[in-house]
Amino acid sequence: MSYSADASRYDRPSYRRAGRSGLLLPPVSLGLWHNFGPDRPADSQRALLLRAFDLGITHFDLANNYGRPVFGYAETRFGEVLKSDLLPYRDEIVISTKAGYEGWPGPYGIGGSRKHVMSSLDRSLRRLGVDHVDVFYSHRPDPDTPVEETMGALADAVRQGKALYAGISNYSPEQTRKAAEALAADGVPLTLHQHRYSMFDRTPERGLFAELARLGTGGTVFSPLAQGLLTNRYLNGTVAPESRAATSMFLSADDITETYLARAKALNALAGERGQSLAQLALSWVLRRPEVTSAVIGASSVAQLEVNTAALDAPPLTEQELAAIDPYAVDSTGA
């Protein structure tokens, strides 16, 4: 069946500017880190992508290693859906991808060298079936490569038209400043920084947000739901066999502690007072920050995607609500 986008797709989101750039992103973006590997049905993946676009989610976040255990599988799947359904809407879509983590065997398959960064981008473009991505990130700082080399490769990608904007991910405040300086020396601004941020990981509040504001760089937040800890999945203290705590390398049953449960249940109660789910409250909380351009979420089903994006319909958090949340929004909970 041929796809036709929902005519009302732009009615809900209030798009946010990425720092001082001209780029606008939806407040919630769809990340393909999880749920887009070969172990998931292709029809379900297609349904997620199309429903996301119908909901006004124009930004799809990928990387060269997404789709485990097959590196790049998520890009391949997205490229197939782009070709079959979304290609007429390409100019309405922001595709981001990254290089830095392992993408193929050998010494050039990982890191921040020019060799890796440029080769990774070319591989991503082939898998996606496009001639450029909108945002290209250095996925992580490489201590063995000068930042000038990594940023020089990003700048060249922009100059060559293979990417429209340059970004970095997982860089500390000081590393962010140095990366921005290196890009500026090549005449390219640092448009986006993608970093982890949630009620249970407040690291960016300790210097990074201030640096992004100073630089005029936007923030795209990953893991705003703390790998599922800020959902109702674990509130009863049990770990289902198919849950992320039972199957992921990034979360384990050991993270479901009594301290976590006490904080999560308190936050869930506060969410209920607002008529929200815990996940919706967690998204509202992340999006309260002016430095956050977009929260990148994953979804295992269309229903989950719809419920979580309903956070955008809630009123802003009040000062009183933020004060009530703060004692339970504790850094390193579940870590």
Distance between the two ends of the chain, CA-based, in angstroms? 44
**Mean of pLDDT over the chain:** 95
Among 48, 36, 137, 147, CA closest to 95:
137
Pairing of strands 24-25, 16-17: antiparallel
Tokens 């979304």 identify what position? 86
Q: What phi and psi, each to the nearest 5 degrees, are found at residue 321?
A: -65, -40
* Pairwise CA distance, residues 189 & 178, whole Å: 12
Question: So what's the pLDDT on residue 246?
Answer: 44
Question: So what's the pLDDT on residue 211?
Answer: 98
Buried b (16+ CB within 10 A) or exposed e, 211-247: bbeebebbbbbbbbbbbbbbbebbbeeebeeebbbee
Q: What global pTM score does this model have?
A: 0.95
* Pairwise CA distance, residues 194 & 168, whole Å: 6
Among 178, 282, 289, 164, CA closest to 229:
282
- Indicate the residue type of 206: R
Q: Which residues pair with 296 in a beta bridge?
A: 29, 222
Domains of the chain (ranges plus CATH)?
16-227+286-300 (3.20.20.100)
Question: So what's the pLDDT on residue 255?
Answer: 79
Average pLDDT over residues 322-331: 98
Whether the pLDDT of residue 13 is over 90: the answer is: no
* Pairwise CA distance, residues 102 & 107, whole Å: 10
Question: So what's the pLDDT on residue 241?
Answer: 59
Whether the pLDDT of residue 147 is over 50: the answer is: yes
pLDDT-based confidence at residue 334 (cuts at 50, 70, 90): confident
